[in-house]
Amino acid sequence: MRLKSLLVCLPLLLAACAYRGGGDEPGVRKFTLFSMLNGDDIRGKCGTAPGYERYRLVYNGLYEEQFRVYELVRGPKDGHVLKSSVTNPANVAEIDLKDLLSPWRPVTSERYLKDGDFQALTSALGQTGFFGTAPKGLTLPSDSFWWLAVGCKEGQMFFHAWKHPSPDLTTLAFVKPLLAQDGTGQRLNPPRHPISHMPHMKSSDDDKRFEMKVGEDGLIGVSRLF
């Protein structure tokens, strides 16, 4: 009974944990997921540090199948940084005895970008409506396909999200240039109609799927789907 109660409360625990970096560690991301997606760490620095400009782009390709995180940070001339992280289903057959968490660690890469590449990415974000109004009321279930972006530019916070099938996630302006700079070598899990959405599918007592909703300028809640 206690275990079942813990599973029900887990999303609330996620919401209460503040993200301060270290998202490549499986335990850190698990317990700070909501805060990371909401960009709480970026919000804490936005407007306080001169020239601070940072963006986080997240692709949820069914949470249990693929989860991609991109950190784009303005740096000195031709020294901007793009960190890519892709988490796929764990393969315990490939466990490393020197690192017992290795099956759950994401594949990562880090790349320095020139001014033109950085500008191309931020401009592509602008073409998708990122610097406009957030889609208030949009729900983001973990068992679906969506992109989420949060960032700080010139002391102002921005937040946006896009969910399959409208719009077509593969045609968003920033996707192609972003994937071109992704050094992980991991192919994007393409959007589709997931079988878990079929009417005959039943949820179990240990179903850990969750759902979030977009508010005025960020996420406003997380709850279990069933």
152 close to 158: Cβ distance less than 8 angstroms = yes
Residue 108 pairs in a beta bridge with 85
Higher pLDDT, 32 or 2: 32
% of the chain surpassing 70 pLDDT: 73
Q: What is the mean pLDDT of the chain?
A: 83
Residue type for position 74: R
First to last CA, the chain: 17
Q: Which of 49-63, 91-105, 195-209 has the highest mean pLDDT?
A: 49-63
User: Which tokens hold the place of 177?
Assistant: 């240039």
Question: Each residue of 129-182: pLDDT tens digit?
Answer: 999 999 999 999 999 999 999 999 999 999 999 999 999 999 999 999 999 999
Q: Which of 70, 105, 69, 71 is nearest to 88 (CA)?
A: 105
Q: Which stretch of DSSP H or E encloses residue 108?
A: strand 107-113
- Give the residue-averaged pLDDT of 96-103: 47
200 falls in which pLDDT band (50, 70, 90)? very low
Domains of the chain: 48-191+213-218 (3.30.1560)
* Among the ranges given (26-30, 38-42, 101-105), the one the predictor scored with the smallest mean pLDDT: 101-105
What is the pLDDT at residue 194? 75
% of the chain surpassing 90 pLDDT: 65
Higher pLDDT, 16 or 182: 182
What is the pLDDT at residue 53? 98
| Residue 109 Ramachandran class (φ > 0 left, ψ -120 to 50 alpha, else beta) | beta
Place of tokens 């069914």: 62
Cα 40 to Cα 8, 15, 22, 45, 55, distances in angstroms:
24, 11, 14, 9, 12
HEC string of 17-46 equals CCCCCCCCCHHHHHHHHHHHHHCHHHHHHC
- Give the residue-averaged pLDDT of 4-15: 43
